[in-house]
A and B are shown apart, each in its own frame.
Chain A
C-alpha cells in the first residue's frame, strides 16, 4: 500500500481539516465533529435544510457538495463506515432554519440505522426530519431477500435536485414527494478494473488479474455480477448501457440526464473516451440526452473503474433542477 497519509487512524479528521482550511468560503466544521456545514448562512435562511453523509473514501462526496443550491451540511464517517448518530444529529441542528431538515441516505444498513437514530434525537428537539433512501445500483437484485439496491453515484443527482428545490423554497413535504418521484428514475451500474484499499486494512478489498474486469462492483468493493477479460470501451458501454436499457425499457425519443463517474483511479482521459462511446450509443438509440456530467464525483478510494448513471427526465422541472445554479467545492454552475 502506498498512500499519502500520516496515521491511517487519523485519515478522516485530517482530510476534514484540510478541506476546511482550503475552502473556508464553502464549509465550516462543527466543533468536535467530522460534520461540515455551509459557510454561506444567508443562503439557508427560511429554507429546509438538506443534509447527507456516509462513509469517507467517496470524495468529493459528501462535503464537496455543501454549498448554495445543494447541501446544507454533510457528515464524514470513518472510511466506508456510516457516520455516528450524534454527529448526524449535530448536522441536523446546524442545517435546521425553522423549516425542518431533509436527509439523503444511501441504502446501506449502517447508514439507514444511524440516520434513523439521529432522526429520533431530532424528534426530541421538535425538529421535523424527513428523508429519502437512495437505491440506484441495478447490479443488485431488488428483492425481499436482500438489503435492496445500494445507493451509489446517482446520489449526486438526488443531492442536486433536492438542493435546487430546497433553495427555491420547497417545503419538507414537497421535498419528500419530489424525492420519492425522482428515485425510481435514477439508475446506475459500474465496472471495476481494480479494487480499493482501505487505509487501515492495507490491502485491496478484492483482487482482479491485470487483464480482468468486474461488472457490477459496489462503491465499497462489494462483489459484482461477472468477471471477464478487459474489453474495449465500446464493449463496456454496450454491457452497462444494455443493463440500464433493460431496467428502464427506454424508447426512442425519451429524455435522460447522464452521469459518468470515475471511481478514483481512472483518468479523466479514459472517462471521456467512455463518455464518447456512451453518448454515441444513446444517440444511436434515439435517446435525447439533455444533461451530461463527467468526472470523479462518487469515488471508491483508489479503485479504478467507472459508473454510468441514467436519470430519466419524466418532468421538465427535473432538468431545470439539474441546471439550477449551484456553488460548491465539487459542482459549480451559473
Chain B
C-alpha cells in the first residue's frame, strides 16, 4: 500500500508515545552493552518530532518525513540521532518518486547502511530493518516478523557500534536500537499502514 500524510502522522505520534513510555526500559537495555542513554536520547527525539509537527502541519508526505528527519538529526545526537535521522531523510527523498511503503522503508534501510556501515548479523538496528523491508516487499509484514527480528538480536555478538567493545559479553542482551526500531514498525502497523 501507499503511505499517506495522515497515516504517517498517526504512526509517528504512536511511536513518540511508545518511546516516551519506554524511555527507562530502553536506557536499561543500553546499560550493560552501551552507555545507558538510548531511551533518554530517543525520548528527546520524540519530543522534538511532536514539537516540530505541532508547530506547522506538513503540507505533504515528503514535508512530513523531512520534518521528522530534521527533528531527529538536530535534537538527538549520538549514533541514534544520525541513524534514525538519515533513515527518515532518505525516506523523504524517495517519497518524491514513490509512496509505496516497502520502497520507502527500503530507502531508509539503504540510508542506515550507508551512514553506519553495518550489515545484518552485527547486532544493530539493521537486524530489524532488513527483515522488515524484506517482509514488506513480499507483502507479509506482521508484528510476528518484527518481534522475531528483535528477539533474534539477543544471541548475536555485536561487531559494530558501542556494544562491540564488550565483545562476547554482548551475547544474551537485546540490542536497544533494534528494540526501538521494533517499536517504530509495530506502531506503523498499529497506525493501519500495512505492507
Contact = CB atoms under 8 A, between A and B. Distances in A.
A146 B159 contact: yes
Contact of B160 (A77, A81, A109, A117): A109
A113 B36 CA distance: 19
Given A82-B78, A109-B79, A114-B81, A140 B44 contact: no
B36 A198 contact: yes
Contacts of A86: 73-74
Contact of A84 (B37, B40, B77, B166): B77
Contacts of A220: 35, 162
Interface residues of A, number: 34
A147 interface: yes
Given A86-B74, A113-B83, A147-B160, A222 B40 contact: no
Contacts, number: 105
Given A78-B41, A113-B116, A222-B162, A205 B35 contact: yes
A83 interface: yes
> Sorted from nearest, which 4 A-B pairs have the closest CB atoms?
A110-B79, A113-B82, A110-B78, A81-B78
Contacts of A324: none
Interface of A: 55, 77-87, 108-110, 113-114, 116-117, 140-141, 145-147, 150, 198, 200-201, 205, 218, 220-223
A147 B78 contact: no
B86 to A, nearest CB: 8
A198 B37 contact: yes
12 contacts: A81-B37, A81-B76, A81-B78, A110-B79, A110-B80, A110-B162, A117-B73, A145-B159, A147-B161, A198-B35, A198-B36, A223-B166
A137 B165 CA distance: 11
B41 A81 contact: yes
A205 B164 contact: no
B169 interface: yes
Contacts of B79: 82, 108-110, 113
Contacts of A140: 165
A312 to B, nearest CB: 25
B164 A146 contact: yes
B-side interface size class: 20 to 34
Chain A contact surface mostly: loop
A45 to B, nearest CB: 30
Interface string B147-171: 0000000000001111011110100
Contact of A81 (B77, B159, B164): B77
B178 interface: no
Interface of B: 27, 31, 35-37, 40-41, 44, 73-83, 86, 115-116, 159-162, 164-167, 169
A84 B76 CA distance: 7
Most buried by B among A81, A117, A145, A198: A81
Contacts of A141: 167
A217 to B, nearest CB: 10
Nearest to B24: A201
A200 B166 contact: no
A55 B35 CA distance: 12
B159 A205 contact: no
B81 A84 contact: yes
Given A86-B73, A147-B162, A223 B78 contact: no
B25 to A, nearest CB: 13
A109 B162 contact: yes
Given A109-B160, A146-B165, A223-B165, A117 B36 contact: no
B116 A147 contact: no
A305 to B, nearest CB: 16
A77 B77 contact: yes
Nearest to A113: B82
A205 B36 contact: yes
A131 B82 CA distance: 18
A114 B82 contact: yes
Contacts of A150: 165
Nearest to A145: B159
Given A82-B77, A82-B79, A221 B35 contact: yes
Given A85-B73, A205-B31, 16 more contacts: A78-B77, A81-B41, A81-B78, A82-B81, A82-B82, A87-B74, A109-B79, A110-B77, A110-B78, A110-B81, A113-B86, A140-B165, A146-B159, A147-B161, A220-B35, A222-B165
Given A113-B83, A205-B35, A222-B35, A83 B77 contact: yes
